[in-house]
Amino acid sequence: KNGTQRKQFWCRADSSLYMFIKALFSLLSEVGVEQAVLHRQQSLPHRPTIPLVARMADQNTSGTPAMTQREASRLDKFRQVLAGPNTDLEELRKLSWSGIPRQVRPITWKLLSGYLPANAERRASTLQRKRQEYFGFIEQYYDSRNDEHHQDTYRQIHIDIPRTNPLIPLFQQASVQEIFERILFIWAIRHPASGYVQGINDLVTPFFVVYVFEYIEEEVENFNVSSLQEEVLRNIEADSFWCMSKLLDGIQDNYTFAQPGIQRKVKALEELVSRIDETVHRHMQQYEVEYLQFAFRWMNNLLMRELPLRCTIRLWDTYQAEPEGFSHFHLYVCAAFLVRWRKEILEEKDFQGLMILLQNLPTMHWGNEEVSVLLAEAYRLKFAFADAPNHYKR
């Protein structure tokens, strides 16, 4: 079908059928896209492989590189805030917005997500209670995964888990995949309004990696989790479950039937981009690129498929610190991210070229500096447009 026919067809589909057709179109189009990407990559010079988690000393996401004086000073500030009997969460958010040192990221994420209380004396008992509660869910629900009512959910989770970060050996370990299966199945059973939706599997990953860091010093990509004590692995699993649950509580309409939250956010992104860069917006309109064709994944997976894991972890430092970071600020990050590729977008002169670019943006070499620039631009957009009349409907 030509572009006009395709656009008319998309517009006629109702909400639920629309989502099915979108997924089917994406699957079919990716065949051509992937072939074109492969052809393009074969014509490029070889690039060195760069770890997805740890790249440079300033990443603070794995290993223990020597700290600069500035980094040591920031770490001291975090430790001072965390050392009190009642943590000042507002002060902790201010510090965390610009990134959290690896050494204190686990406790900071647990506090900012609301998993742990600000009162230090209550934390040990809270952890014990929540961890016991999670494994109570396992005993209560996990055996039902093969029941007729739940087997489709479990089967889809079982299929998706090996596809989660397939290039990182850590996530190909059987014990790690079993942890992810339990976390996702229990969450789905306890949230029947949405159940399991593809994309939720990605959202476990940052929490799991950060909470593994709580117990190891070495890099994480090739770490063998069987070297950890069973109790430690159980703690990591339970903590990852609860913090992922806290995140999803704020964006659950992204994953209910027909995913209305995502559809609203993609529409809001389109309206925002039309205001901040009309040239880019009109260019995509000219070649009939629908925002849903590329930005659905940005919302569904919170940009995790577009960025290296090290960058996602840094991004989530700010999302944890920002009010409504995952549900609202993420929109401005997506807008800043799209406009960041303005030059490359305007150089593409057909639908396929634009889709290849937008589905394979060259972020492999990104690190803290690029994420910081992205977040600063997103904050500027939020400040400029969040309260503007007729900006978009939340």
Q: What is the pLDDT of residues 170-215, one digit of tens each?
A: 999 999 999 999 999 999 999 998 899 999 999 999 999 999 999 9
Place 149 in a pLDDT band, splitting at 50, 70 and 90.
confident
Query: Could you report how far apart the first and last alpha carbons of the chain are, in Å?
Result: 34
Could you tell me the sign of the dihedral formed by the alpha carbons of 197, 201, 206, 211, in that order? positive
Burial of residue 345 (number of CB atoms within 10 Å: 0-12, 13-18, 19+): buried
**Overall fold of domain 3-43+257-385:** Cyclin A; domain 1 (1.10.472)
d(CA 172, CA 222): 10
More confident residue, 94 or 32: 94
What's the 3-state SS for the chain?
Answer: CCHHHHHHHHHHCCHHHHHHHHHHHHHHHHHHHHHHHHHHHHCCCCCCCCCCCCCCHHHCCCCCCCCCHHHHHHHHHHHHHHHCCECCHHHHHHHHCCCCCHHHHHHHHHHHCCCCCCEHHHHHHHHHHHHHHHHHHHHHHHHHHHCCCCHHHHHHHHHHHHHCCCCCHHHHCHHHHHHHHHHHHHHHHHCCCCCCCCCHHHHHHHHHHHHHHCCCCCCCCCCCHHHCCHHHHHHHHHHHHHHHHHHHHCCHHHCCCCCHHHHHHHHHHHHHHHHHCHHHHHHHHHCCCCCHHHHHHHHHCCCCCCCCHHHHHHHHHHHHHCCCHHHHHHHHHHHHHHHHCHHHHHHCCCHHHHHHHHHCCCCCCCCHHHHHHHHHHHHHHHHHHCCCCCCCCC
Please state, rounded to an integer, the average pLDDT across all residues of the chain: 85
**218 Cβ neighbours under 8 A, 6+ residues apart:** 62, 63
CA distances (Å), 282 to each of 222, 274, 317, 354, in order? Answer: 45, 8, 34, 13
Average pLDDT estimate for 157-167: 92
Best mean pLDDT range from 21-25, 40-44, 203-207: 203-207
pLDDT at 377 over 60: yes
Other beta carbons within 10 angstroms of residue 173's beta carbon come to 14
Residue type, 106: P
Place 102 in a pLDDT band, splitting at 50, 70 and 90.
very high
- Name the residue ranges covered by the structural domains of the chain: 3-43+257-385, 57-249
d(CA 80, CA 72): 12
Stated pTM of the model = 0.83
Residue with tokens 């704020």: 250
Average pLDDT estimate for 219-226: 92
Compute CA 97 distance to the chain's CA centroid, rounded to the nearest angstrom.
17
pLDDT at 337 over 70: yes
pLDDT at 67 over 90: no
